[in-house]
């Protein structure tokens, strides 16, 4: 059964030349606004022949490195700088971003678990559907800027995925390396089926994902990485002229071959990580302790590394519940070329 057209309309013309700032308007009707709209800001920069790129942040609303970098780019990118078309959406899940939350306060929706989306679904599903059926078909390459948000802190990296189409896989990997984060990765997803990544890749488009820090804030170091990376991405795919700017230290390549990279808590309590982000770890090392907060004198539970590698992500808040990811350990590799 074919889906009806998206209820979302754009206030910009994606084919018009020059710089346009506007909105995606999603009709809503609720107690606050009977004939209202969710207004998702976007910028389109269009200049003659060339590839088309879609740059997205705020897929999760509390991941501020990407949101901030894209708001800055939207303010500064000039039409004469671009060959082709750059579409910038700093806050894909606008209701979540305004609330400072990972998910939407309107429907509880996690946008990156809502693809390919549904024009007759919730607000979050309608946003996903618009990206899948309207924006992604307009472009050749997509850069989706994530970070850990309020509950995770992540070593800044750009990543691609293993794909059936090896040329598509190679082109995405080259973009992930060119982004120039301290780390580049081929990423294993815990559940790929409903990701934006998969919605883009299944259309044969090039998709590069990033994780650029976390904790629900930004730091100067991570903003440098985010902004340099966005610029490198545009240069690499031919949208902007210039020289690629590599990271200060040689890039570290890591691989996440399977789900054993993720260490998840089987206890509730107070978390003590014994390693810092980016530290190396050997199999069997104690990486974390969880303390019972209801009493003194109880022996903490120890979590040990089930593999050797690099600590690439950690839980950010000190309190932990059963099922929370405590740590992610990735394998350092000489090459990502598979």
Residues making contact with Zn ion (CB under 5 A): 60, 63, 146
Cβ proximity of 272 and 288 under 8 Å: yes
Question: Taking the complex as a whole, how short is the minimal distance between the CB of residue 204 and Zn ion, in angstroms?
Answer: 23
Of the two residues 151 and 203, which places its CB atom closer to Zn ion in the complex?
A: 151
Question: Taking the complex as a whole, how short is the minimal distance between the CB of residue 6 and Zn ion, in angstroms?
Answer: 23
Question: Taking the complex as a whole, how short is the minimal distance between the CB of residue 176 and Zn ion, in angstroms?
Answer: 16
Question: What whole-number distance in Å separates Cα of residue 232 and Cα of residue 244?
Answer: 5
Of the two residues 147 and 171, which places its CB atom closer to Zn ion in the complex?
A: 147
Three-state DSSP at 23 gives strand
Radius of gyration of the chain (CA): 20
Q: In whole angstroms, what separates CA 337 from the centre of its chain?
A: 22
Return all residues near 33 (Cβ < 8 A) that are at least 6 apart. Answer: none
Return all residues near 130 (Cβ < 8 A) that are at least 6 apart. Answer: 6, 8, 24, 26, 117
Question: Taking the complex as a whole, how short is the minimal distance between the CB of residue 159 and Zn ion, in angstroms?
Answer: 12
Of the two residues 9 and 110, which places its CB atom closer to Zn ion in the complex?
A: 110
Q: Which residues pair with 254 in a beta bridge?
A: 185, 332
Of the two residues 147 and 265, which places its CB atom closer to Zn ion in the complex?
A: 147
- Closest by Cα among 111, 136, 113 to 59: 111
State the sign of the Cα–Cα–Cα–Cα dihedral 277, 279, 285, 286: negative
Of the two residues 188 and 291, which places its CB atom closer to Zn ion in the complex?
A: 188
Question: Taking the complex as a whole, how short is the minimal distance between the CB of residue 259 and Zn ion, in angstroms?
Answer: 18
Tokens of 257: 């071959």
Of the two residues 63 and 201, which places its CB atom closer to Zn ion in the complex?
A: 63
Question: Taking the complex as a whole, how short is the minimal distance between the CB of residue 64 and Zn ion, in angstroms?
Answer: 11
Q: Which residues pair with 274 in a beta bridge?
A: none
């Amino acid at each position: 059964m074919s889906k009806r057209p998206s209820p979302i309309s754009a206030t910009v013309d994606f084919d018009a030349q020059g710089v346009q700032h506007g909105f995606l308007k999603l009709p809503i009707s609720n107690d606050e606004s009977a004939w209202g709209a969710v207004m998702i800001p976007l910028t389109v920069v269009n200049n003659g022949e060339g590839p088309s790129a879609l740059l997205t942040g705020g897929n999760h609303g509390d991941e501020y490195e990407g949101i901030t970098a894209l708001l800055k780019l939207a303010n500064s990118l000039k039409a004469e700088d671009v060959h082709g078309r750059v579409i910038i959406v700093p806050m894909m899940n606008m209701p979540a971003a305004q609330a400072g939350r990972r998910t939407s306060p309107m429907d509880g929706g996690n946008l990156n678990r809502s693809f390919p989306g549904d024009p007759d679904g919730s607000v979050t599903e309608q946003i996903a559907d618009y990206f899948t059926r309207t924006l992604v078909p307009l472009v050749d390459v997509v850069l989706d800027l994530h970070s850990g948000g309020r509950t995770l802190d992540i070593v800044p990296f750009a990543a691609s995925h293993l794909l059936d189409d090896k040329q598509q896989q190679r082109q995405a990997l080259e973009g992930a390396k060119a982004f120039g984060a301290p780390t580049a990765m081929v990423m294993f997803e815990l559940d790929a089926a409903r990701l934006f990544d998969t919605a883009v890749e299944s259309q044969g488009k090039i998709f590069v994902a990033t994780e650029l820090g976390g904790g629900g804030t930004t730091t100067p170091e991570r903003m440098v990485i985010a902004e340099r990376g966005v610029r490198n991405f545009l240069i690499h795919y031919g949208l902007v002229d210039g020289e690629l700017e590599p990271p200060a230290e040689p890039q570290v390549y890591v691989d996440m071959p399977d789900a054993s990279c993720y260490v998840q808590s089987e206890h509730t309590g107070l978390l003590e990580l014994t390693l810092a982000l980016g530290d190396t770890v050997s199999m069997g090392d104690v990486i974390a302790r969880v303390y019972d907060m209801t009493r003194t004198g109880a022996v903490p539970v120890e979590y040990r590394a089930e593999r050797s590698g690099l600590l690439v992500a950690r839980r950010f808040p000190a309190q932990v519940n059963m099922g929370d990811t405590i740590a992610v350990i990735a394998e350092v590799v000489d090459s990502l070329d598979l």
